[in-house]
Amino acid sequence: MEALAMGGYGAYVWSCFGLAFIVTVVIEWRGRVRHNEIYRDIEVRIKALEERE
Amino acid sequence: MWKFFHQMASPPYFYRLAATLIPWFAIPGLILIAYGAYAGLFLVSMDYQQGDAFRIIYVHVPSAYLSMMAYMMMAVGGGIGLIWRLKLAHAVGAAAAPLGAAFTFLALVTGSIWGRPMWGTWWEWGDPRLTSELILLFLYFGYMALRSSIDDTAKADKASAVLALVGVVNVVIVHFSVEWWSSLHQGQTVFKKGTMDADMRIPLFAMLIGFSFVFGAMLLRRLRTEVLFRERRTRWVRELVLSPEGGK
């Protein structure tokens, strides 16, 4: 409990570490989602072209 | 040396190389962050003036450092792209901008949270470090808005590169603001001798290096996406997508 309280600054310290974790996870997840979306779009377009040819 | 740069600038080579490099950046980065965060939160003694609130330094400083580093990468990438017309250099700027904006946001918010118990205020408009860092965030937004408003990638590359180069002035102001003007924000402590105990400094360096490595991994992933998008009509992308093992 003492570690959580951080001498009365717990809310400030833990919110900063929590926010850093959330922001890092979100930007990494967004990066992955965008990569998969673009890859899928290209894949669909190329396969459609292949079938037409 | 030139052969190496030439090879690096080749999109198919870079696309495959980046996939190999990502874990080499991500894994050591995460290990360093885990150590730095644990040591910074639980092992290091509290500061004699700021108490335990000083532990915010372990996320605030790496975020602030990356906020400036990402912008410098955008500017250097833009400069190289304009001078040598290297498409990959422009792609670096496009990939670094969202990451830089995220870390600038993090630096601003963690700084504000740290400022409340130490300065008695969440924000001070008259403070040069705070306002120049906020301008940096707006520069990132401007850069991304400019890129997305121009459909032609080549034109978007040129316009955004010019904006990135002009904005470097603000990065210099962010960095030196605490020395040039009177500021609520403390002066340089991390790289200055005698300002910080070694016990506090080691986890901070671990966090700085760890954040940089994780940033590197995220940048490489976004660069792969950027390269894939720019090269979507080329033969190598077609071959990559149609290959049995795929090329995600």
pLDDT of residue B2: 67
Domain assignment present for A7: no
Please state the rounded mean pLDDT for residues B3-29.
88
Tokens of B236: 């190598």
Cβ–Cβ < 8 Å for A24, B105: no
Contact state of A20 with B59 under an 8 Å Cβ cutoff? yes
Question: Looking at the 3D structure of chain A, how many domains does it have?
Answer: 1
Predicted structure pTM score: 0.92
Q: Which domain holds residue A22?
A: 18-53
Domain assignment present for A22: yes
Nearest chain A residue to B109 by CA: give it: A16
Q: Among B55, B105, B204, B213, which would you mutate to test the A interface (most chain A Cβ atoms within 10 Å of its Cβ)? A: B55
The answer to whether B113 contacts chain A (CB < 8 Å) is yes
Domain assignment present for A10: no
**Predicted complex ipTM:** 0.91
Contact state of B42 with A43 under an 8 Å Cβ cutoff? no
B62-71 per-position pLDDT tens digit = 999 999 999 9
Please state the rounded mean pLDDT for residues B118-124.
89
| Cα–Cα distances in angstroms (integers) from residue B171 to residues B79, B133, B140, in the given order | 16, 8, 12
B164-176 per-position pLDDT tens digit = 999 999 999 989 8
Q: Among A27, A33, A40, A53, which would you mutate to test the B interface (most chain B Cβ atoms within 10 Å of its Cβ)? A: A27
Output phi, psi for B47, to 5 deg.
-75, 140
Whole-angstrom distance between the N-terminal and C-terminal Cα of chain A?
A: 68
Residues of B in contact with A53 (CB under 8 A): none
Q: Which residue stretches of chain A have pLDDT < 50?
A: none
